[in-house]
């Protein structure tokens, strides 16, 4: 264990997902020399150990020292995997630069006062210490005594700092300093050598993905020298670049002048144009990200995205300041997540290692047994060692570790044919354990496109008659019409209007048209870069000739709204139009303008499954165009006048209902996580039968503490609300429960909003597991909340799949055990799986293939284990009298049978129907262990009996004692004993130690045993198709069996000569065949009727009192026995008994943090009973 002394230890990336502990070490030459000598003496074995255990290498070669003096650092992850990495500390010298640098400690090297570079360079030596960890460079900060990341601008910079420090560019000297310290702006993925075949294909794809990033020509502003053209790899944080127009961004940058439209498909998965606005001018010292809250992304241009269109502000070209370079960028982070994926905590792979260790121990026993036998008989040390090593390698077939991936390879090929692509192959096996699937709603369960249904305008604080678009009537002119025509993020690109489908449908409903500003509109003071909206030929009469969009505040999923500042032609003042979630927008409107029946009207539409958008307006009291650019969003989006509701129809995809039904029949939980309205989500869930008919829906509403009132959570049956209960009655505590006893268990579903989830996470953390085991609807969820929810489900030991369209689901997709993106964009590499089918049919297909791959992997693993044990038993018996199988006997078992079985056993296709239970998720489960143990017993009994019984036959003689006489009478074999090695690595002594009645008897038994267990372990239904559908595997098994029987019963001297067998009586051969067939019948009966009998295991589980160790199972059991659960018509407060709990891990009200404490108990795969 490492000692965490103050100088020796530090944290890298504290609080982040990739947090690391770093320890300082200094290399000692004497230790290093001793390790080198030991490595030579052990033929490199020590180096192999050091490769596996880098911490041992550091401890052996180095001594602890303060980090400041270290030449080597040892890094350890702070997650549950506790992985170690060793890195060399590299020294950089600024004296190598071609211009003089001041050695005065008081004089900063770079103008940015926040930059770590000023604290990282030791003067007067001009030395800088750095380490590179997972492609990111860290430098030692002498002031703060810690390593800090470089290659980015510090977050502590304010808006004022960015404009005044970097707005005019860096000096050429500062650029050179930053290039040396930060490294090149390049995302370089080296192609692995041809011998590294396992990762070569991925590295080639990644190389092709990022190679163009490093070859972009950019225009940079250099202070005092004007504009310069240079290659993008020379960019440094703080450079000011000019955006010329259509442009692929080679770095992350902050927009400081002008606006632009970008395609962020590489990040979001949707090729929808996104408008970026310049960073606001602000004189305060607040950090620039905090100034814009969660919306700082609207000012940031991300690496890898495409600039489609630029709009200068009139003060010069569009400019941006380089924020991050290289692997610090958004694209670099994406590539790093592929190069260094998060380890899989899948018990299967840990169990496989334990199994291999057990077999290796068994081999060690055989090794000692062989040494004892051969030394007892006085065999030469060379031959004794050879034979002992042979039996040591027999028990652990070299292909055993690869057995767990064979099913994955075939499953991946089948998925590819179904247009489902995978970047994390090991996740396929994990898909076989999925028991909960989270779905996004819009674009996933429902159609991407929305159809306009109607608008409900307001007047005099009342809702007016609905204007239906189906009637064919034009939408009359009104402020509501102006809001629909202007409040959007659409752009005109090559004469085509592009943008968000919702915005596009809304705009088309007005029958207005969009065009670029021309000279005709300049008289209104409209800039050339403004977008102009004007009535189209089919639009209703309008007193307004045109509307110019002057400024846009883009839509934010956290704020749930967007707004624009516009100018009507002929007017000298400005208007604000806002659209967003009705519940959110109503808060920013003057109360007198919001109709009193707003909640009821909104609910009447959402309960029918409509998508509802609210629109609002206000006139700005400013007259100067220059003031518009300096307006704060908070000022713009306040004191609004409510205009009305836009009603849009969101139909279910035709594939949704059948797929959800299939998952339900397979007992796989389904959860909806959406950013849409709660009632709309509930309606969609009911229409899709995610919530079955007759089930109760309980609305969970939670409120933050206010003044002297603590945080509260209220439970209310949705049906009661539909009968007209008001808000005040909802909060009355009229009983513990009103859910009928017959509906307890899984017949009730909780529904809540993101706001309620946030409050419960913070103040009622003890309630969260109780809600999650029956929570089905989570609406108005932010991206951070989606990710947090998936993680909370995982803590309950669910295997979670997340299926989304990629827009706001990236965090949840990466967090899930299996993230499935329905996007066709480059962003799909951020999720584990990408489906080219834009519907959820891919989910059951993926689960089916995952189950088939898991069962196939288990089958091949069991087969190879039994193959090793069968050979081990046979070889051990022959060793007793200094004999062994011949080269061709081993060769047939190794190549003709085992190799072919391994290559084809896993190619059996998945069963078309999902079974209502999952396959075992671990190797160390009772059925699998019993299967291997009993089959080992069966083959041991048969081989031992045959070995002993053959000695009792009247025609038997000890051939190995009279080999010369016997061989002379049989053939002209050479009796010289020589050591040979066959193609599989098995060393044999031939031929005198091979030819015997024992080996002639045992070889057909062991060979047919191998064929037999391959058939028995090729389980078909319920997870795979029957074995006969795997034509190649069936043909190979039949061929191997036929060939073995042919060799057994043939009387050809050439065959016996080649296979090194002795002819025996036909009756003896028949007896051998009868023995193995009897063994097959017994083994098949035990495997199929007993070990694979799920009902039997459930009965045993019940009788023995075994219970699941999964958290969600335990909670379900507890809640089923709780007569007060689920609560309804009740309000709980954060101070009330066991329900009151303040989550100490809660920090940021805008985002749900990851819980820091590990949940007690074990992971879902840690016990066999979990799957039952």
Predicted confidence (pLDDT) per residue in 843-860, tens digit = 999 999 889 888 888 888
What is the structure's pLDDT at 499?
Answer: 77
Rg (CA), the chain: 36
What is the structure's pLDDT at 615?
Answer: 92
Residue 216 CB burial class (10 angstroms; 0-12, 13-18, ≥19): middle
Q: Which residue did the predictor score with more confidence, 1015 or 890?
A: 1015
Which pLDDT band, with edges at 50, 70 and 90, does 960 fall under? low
The C-alpha atoms of residue 519 and residue 506 are separated, in whole angstroms, by 28
What is the structure's pLDDT at 578?
Answer: 92
Which pLDDT band, with edges at 50, 70 and 90, does 1078 fall under? very high
What is the structure's pLDDT at 437?
Answer: 92
7 is catalytic: no
Share of the chain above pLDDT 70, in %: 84
Average pLDDT over residues 1097-1106: 78
Which run of H or of E encompasses 1081? Answer: helix 1066-1085
Residue 749 has pLDDT above 80, yes or no: yes
What is the structure's pLDDT at 209?
Answer: 57
Residues forming beta bridges with residue 77, ordered by sequence position: 20
Residue 1082 has pLDDT above 80, yes or no: yes
What is the structure's pLDDT at 940?
Answer: 92
Cα angle, residue 495 at apex, residues 490 and 501 outer, rounded to 5° = 30
Residue 993 has pLDDT above 70, yes or no: no
Average pLDDT over residues 235-242: 90
Residue 779 has pLDDT above 60, yes or no: yes
Residue 965 has pLDDT above 70, yes or no: no
The pLDDT mean for the chain works out to: 79
Catalytic residue among 440, 805, 809, 1132: 440
Whether the upstream peptide bond of residue 730 has omega within 30° of 0, thus cis, is: no
Residue 941 has pLDDT above 90, yes or no: yes
Nearest to 195 by CA among 207, 205, 203, 186: 203
Whether the upstream peptide bond of residue 991 has omega within 30° of 0, thus cis, is: yes
For the stretch 613-629, pLDDT in tens is: 899 999 888 877 777 77
What is the structure's pLDDT at 1172?
Answer: 31
Average pLDDT over residues 685-713: 84
Q: Which of 133-147, 156-170, 400-414 has the lowest mean pLDDT?
A: 400-414
- For helices 842-879 and 997-1016, give the axis angle rounded to 10 degrees: 170
Residue 1065 has pLDDT above 80, yes or no: yes
Residues in CB range of 963: below 8 A, 6 or more apart: 975, 992, 995
What is the structure's pLDDT at 986?
Answer: 38
Residue 990 has pLDDT above 60, yes or no: no
**What pTM value is reported for the model?**
0.71
The C-alpha atoms of residue 941 and residue 1065 are separated, in whole angstroms, by 23
Residue 34 has pLDDT above 90, yes or no: yes
What is the structure's pLDDT at 247?
Answer: 82
Q: Are 774 and 746 in contact (CB under 8 A)?
A: yes
Average pLDDT over residues 631-657: 85
Q: Are 445 and 680 in contact (CB under 8 A)?
A: no
Q: Are 273 and 498 in contact (CB under 8 A)?
A: yes
Average pLDDT over residues 952-971: 63
What is the structure's pLDDT at 747?
Answer: 80
Whether the upstream peptide bond of residue 1098 has omega within 30° of 0, thus cis, is: no
Q: Which of 413-417, 446-450, 1166-1170 has the lowest mean pLDDT?
A: 1166-1170
First to last CA, the chain: 39
- Alpha-helical (H) ranges within 377-497 are 381-394, 403-417, 426-431, 479-486
For the stretch 469-493, pLDDT in tens is: 877 788 888 888 889 888 888 877 7
Average pLDDT over residues 36-44: 88
Q: Which of 284-298, 432-446, 584-598, 888-902 has the lowest mean pLDDT?
A: 284-298
Residue 1170 has pLDDT above 50, yes or no: no
Which pLDDT band, with edges at 50, 70 and 90, does 33 fall under? very high
What is the structure's pLDDT at 1138?
Answer: 47
Average pLDDT over residues 1030-1038: 89
For the stretch 1135-1158, pLDDT in tens is: 654 444 444 333 333 333 333 333
The C-alpha atoms of residue 627 and residue 173 are separated, in whole angstroms, by 37
What is the structure's pLDDT at 10?
Answer: 86
Residue 1022 has pLDDT above 50, yes or no: yes
Residue 833 CB burial class (10 angstroms; 0-12, 13-18, ≥19): buried
The C-alpha atoms of residue 425 and residue 417 are separated, in whole angstroms, by 16
Residue 200 has pLDDT above 60, yes or no: no
Residue 56 has pLDDT above 80, yes or no: yes
Q: Are 278 and 156 in contact (CB under 8 A)?
A: no
What is the structure's pLDDT at 30?
Answer: 92
The C-alpha atoms of residue 138 and residue 551 are separated, in whole angstroms, by 40
Q: Are 611 and 557 in contact (CB under 8 A)?
A: no
Q: Report CA torsion sign: 319, 322, 326, 332.
A: negative
Nearest to 1005 by CA among 870, 1118, 1109: 870
Residue 63 has pLDDT above 80, yes or no: yes
Helix, strand, coil % in the chain, rounded to nearest 5: 40, 20, 35
Q: Which residue did the predictor score with more confidence, 32 or 831?
A: 32
What is the structure's pLDDT at 974?
Answer: 34
Which pLDDT band, with edges at 50, 70 and 90, does 829 fall under? low
Nearest to 71 by CA among 58, 52, 56, 55: 58
Which pLDDT band, with edges at 50, 70 and 90, does 282 fall under? confident
Long-range contacts for 170-174 (Cβ within 8 Å, ≥24 apart)?
170/111, 170/222, 170/223, 170/236, 170/238, 170/239, 170/240, 171/111, 171/222, 171/223, 171/224, 172/222, 172/225, 173/99, 174/109, 174/110, 174/111, 174/238
What is the structure's pLDDT at 211?
Answer: 61
Q: Which of 510-519, 988-997, 1019-1028, 1049-1058 has the lowest mean pLDDT?
A: 988-997
Average pLDDT over residues 547-552: 84
Residue 661 has pLDDT above 70, yes or no: yes
Q: How many CB atoms lie within 10 A of CB 843?
A: 28
Phi-psi region of 224 (alpha: psi -120 to 50; beta: other; left: phi over 0): left
Residue 742 has pLDDT above 80, yes or no: no
Which pLDDT band, with edges at 50, 70 and 90, does 37 fall under? very high
Average pLDDT over residues 305-329: 85
């Amino acid at each position: 264990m490492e000692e965490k002394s103050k100088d020796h230890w530090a944290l890298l990336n504290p609080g982040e997902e990739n947090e690391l502990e770093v320890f300082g070490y200094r290399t000692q030459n004497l230790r290093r020399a001793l390790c080198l000598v030991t490595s030579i003496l052990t033929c490199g074995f020590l180096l192999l150990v050091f490769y596996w255990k880098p911490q041992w290498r550091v401890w052996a070669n180095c001594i602890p020292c303060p980090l400041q003096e270290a030449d080597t650092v040892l890094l350890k992850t702070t997650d549950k995997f506790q992985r170690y990495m060793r890195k060399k500390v590299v020294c950089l010298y600024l004296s190598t630069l071609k211009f003089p640098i001041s050695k005065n400690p008081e004089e900063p090297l770079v103008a940015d006062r926040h930059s770590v570079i000023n604290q990282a360079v030791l003067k007067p030596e001009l030395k800088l210490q750095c380490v590179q960890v997972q492609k990111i460079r860290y430098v030692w900060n002498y002031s703060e005594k810690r390593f800090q990341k470089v290659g980015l601008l510090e977050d502590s910079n304010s808006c004022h700092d960015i404009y005044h420090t970097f707005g005019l560019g860096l000096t050429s000297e500062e650029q050179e300093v930053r290039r040396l310290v930060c490294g090149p702006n390049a995302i370089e993925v080296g192609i692995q050598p041809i011998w590294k075949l396992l990762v070569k294909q991925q590295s080639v794809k990644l190389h092709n993905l990022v190679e163009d990033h490093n070859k972009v020509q950019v225009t940079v502003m250099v202070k005092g020298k004007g504009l310069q053209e240079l290659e993008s790899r020379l960019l440094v944080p703080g450079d000011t670049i000019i955006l010329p127009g259509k442009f692929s961004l080679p770095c992350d940058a902050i927009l400081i002048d002008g606006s632009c439209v970008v395609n962020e498909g590489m990040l979001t998965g949707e090729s929808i144009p996104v408008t970026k606005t310049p960073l606001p001018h602000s004189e305060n010292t607040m950090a620039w990200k905090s100034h814009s809250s969660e919306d700082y992304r609207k000012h940031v241009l991300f690496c890898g995205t495409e600039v489609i269109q630029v709009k200068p502000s009139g003060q010069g070209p569009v400019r941006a300041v380089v924020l991050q370079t290289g692997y610090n960028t958004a694209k670099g982070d994406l590539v790093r997540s592929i190069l260094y994926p998060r380890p899989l905590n899948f018990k299967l792979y840990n169990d496989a290692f334990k199994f291999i260790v057990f077999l290796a121990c068994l081999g060690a026993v055989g090794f000692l047994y062989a040494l004892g036998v051969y030394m007892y008989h006085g065999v030469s040390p060379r031959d004794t060692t050879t034979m002992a090593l042979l039996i040591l390698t027999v028990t652990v077939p070299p292909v055993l570790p690869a057995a767990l991936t064979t099913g994955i390879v075939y499953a991946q090929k089948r998925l590819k044919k179904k247009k489902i692509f995978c970047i994390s192959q090991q996740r396929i096996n994990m898909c076989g354990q999925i028991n909960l699937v989270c779905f996004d709603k819009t674009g996933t369960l429902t159609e991407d496109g929305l159809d306009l249904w109607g608008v409900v305008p307001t007047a005099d604080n009342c809702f007016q008659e609905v204007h239906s678009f189906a009637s064919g009537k034009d939408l009359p002119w009104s402020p509501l019409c102006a809001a629909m025509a202007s409040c959007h993020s659409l752009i005109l690109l090559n004469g085509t209007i592009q943008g968000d489908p919702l915005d596009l449908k809304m705009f088309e409903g007005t029958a207005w048209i969009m065009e670029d500003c021309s000279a005709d509109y300049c008289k209104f003071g409209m800039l050339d870069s403004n977008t102009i909206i004007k009535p189209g030929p089919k639009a209703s009469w309008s007193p307004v000739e045109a509307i110019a969009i002057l400024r846009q505040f883009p839509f934010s999923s956290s704020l749930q709204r967007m707004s624009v500042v516009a100018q009507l032609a002929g007017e000298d003042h400005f208007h604000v139009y806002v659209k967003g979630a009705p519940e959110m927008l109503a808060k920013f409107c003057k109360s007198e303008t919001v109709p009193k029946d707003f909640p009821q009207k909104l609910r009447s539409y959402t309960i029918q499954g409509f998508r509802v958008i609210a629109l609002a307006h206000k006139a700005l009291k400013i007259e100067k165009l220059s003031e518009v650019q300096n307006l704060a969003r908070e000022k713009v989006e306040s004191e609004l006048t409510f205009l009305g509701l836009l009603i849009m129809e969101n139909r279910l995809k035709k594939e949704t209902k059948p797929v959800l039904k299939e998952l339900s029949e397979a007992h796989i939980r389904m959860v909806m996580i959406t950013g849409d309205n709660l009632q709309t989500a509930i309606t969609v869930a009911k229409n899709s039968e995610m919530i079955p008919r007759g089930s109760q829906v309980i609305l969970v509403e939670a409120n933050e503490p206010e003044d002297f009132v603590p945080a509260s959570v209220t439970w209310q049956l949705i049906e009661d609300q539909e009968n007209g209960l008001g808000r005040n009655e909802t909060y009355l505590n009229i009983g513990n429960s009103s859910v009928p006893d017959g509906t307890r268990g899984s017949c009730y579903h909780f529904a809540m909003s993101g706001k309620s989830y946030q409050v419960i996470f913070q103040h009622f953390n003890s309630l969260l597991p109780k809600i999650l085991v029956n929570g089905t609807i989570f609406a108005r969820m932010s991206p951070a909340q989606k990710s947090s929810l998936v993680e909370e489900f995982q803590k309950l030991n669910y295997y979670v799949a997340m299926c989304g369209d990629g827009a706001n689901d990236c965090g949840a997709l990466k967090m899930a055990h299996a993230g499935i993106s329905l996007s066709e964009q480059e962003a799909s590499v951020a999720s584990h799986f990408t489906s080219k089918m834009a519907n959820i049919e891919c989910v059951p297909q993926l689960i089916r293939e995952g189950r088939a791959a898991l069962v196939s992997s288990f089958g091949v693993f069991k087969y190879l284990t039994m193959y090793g044990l069968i050979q081990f038993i046979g070889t051990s018996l022959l060793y007793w009298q200094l004999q062994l199988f011949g080269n061709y006997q081993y060769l047939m078992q190794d190549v003709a049978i085992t190799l072919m079985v391994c290559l084809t056993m896993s190619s059996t296709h998945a069963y078309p129907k999902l079974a209502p239970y999952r396959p075992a998720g671990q190797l160390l489960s009772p059925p699998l262990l019993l299967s291997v143990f009993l089959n080992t017993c069966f083959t041991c009994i048969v081989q031992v009996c045959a070995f002993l019984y053959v000695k009792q036959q009247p025609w038997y003689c000890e051939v190995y004692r009279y080999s010369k006489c016997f061989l002379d009478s049989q053939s002209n074999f050479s009796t010289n004993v020589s050591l040979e090695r066959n193609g599989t690595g098995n060393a044999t002594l031939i031929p005198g130690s091979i030819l015997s009645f024992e080996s002639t008897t045992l070889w057909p038994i062991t060979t047919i045993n191998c064929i037999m267990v391959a058939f028995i372990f090729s389980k078909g239904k319920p997870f795979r198709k029957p074995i006969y559908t795997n034509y190649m595997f069936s043909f190979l098994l039949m061929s191997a069996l036929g060939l073995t029987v042919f060799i057994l019963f043939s009387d050809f001297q050439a065959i016996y000569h080649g296979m090194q067998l002795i002819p025996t009586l036909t009756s003896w051969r028949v007896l051998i065949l009868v023995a193995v067939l009897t063994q097959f019948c017994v083994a098949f009966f035990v495997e199929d009727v007993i070990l694979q009998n799920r009902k039997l295991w459930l009965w045993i589980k019940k009788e023995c009192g075994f219970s699941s160790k999964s958290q969600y199972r335990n909670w379900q059991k507890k809640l089923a026995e709780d007569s007060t659960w689920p609560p309804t018509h009740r309000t709980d407060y954060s101070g009330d008994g066991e329900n009151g709990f303040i989550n100490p891990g809660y920090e940021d009200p805008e985002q749900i943090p990851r819980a820091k404490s590990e949940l007690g108990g074990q992971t879902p795969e840690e016990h066999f009973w979990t799957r039952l």
